[in-house]
Amino acid sequence: EVKWCILETGERHDTWSVGSAGSAITIVLSGVHEFSIAPDGENGKAITRRLTAGMAIFWENSVPHKWRVIKRAGTITIRRLSR
């Protein structure tokens, strides 16, 4: 699955999202995108990264994750889901 997005400043996904088994990568093409993952579950410690153009984050899709846009951002997310 490949998803290309233009996200406006202030857009966010505040609730933890947990996908099916597989892996994903988000590549930031422009702007500033903040991404959080919770490897120990929603009630565990979250790791937050502020990504700018040219940066990427890779995670297991089953790990809780959420995001917000700091500055209008272009992103590409690629997911490889297990069957």
Tell me the pLDDT of the chain averaged across its residues.
93
pLDDT band at 61 (very low <50, low <70, confident <90, very high): confident
Mean pLDDT of 62-81: 94
Q: pTM (2 decimals)?
A: 0.87
pLDDT of residue 44: 86
Distance CA 64, CA 24 (A): 12
pLDDT of residue 2: 95
> Who's near 70: CB < 8 A, 6+ residues apart?
9, 31, 32, 33, 34, 50
pLDDT at 83 over 80: no
> Does residue 70 contact residue 30 with C-beta atoms inside 8 Å?
no
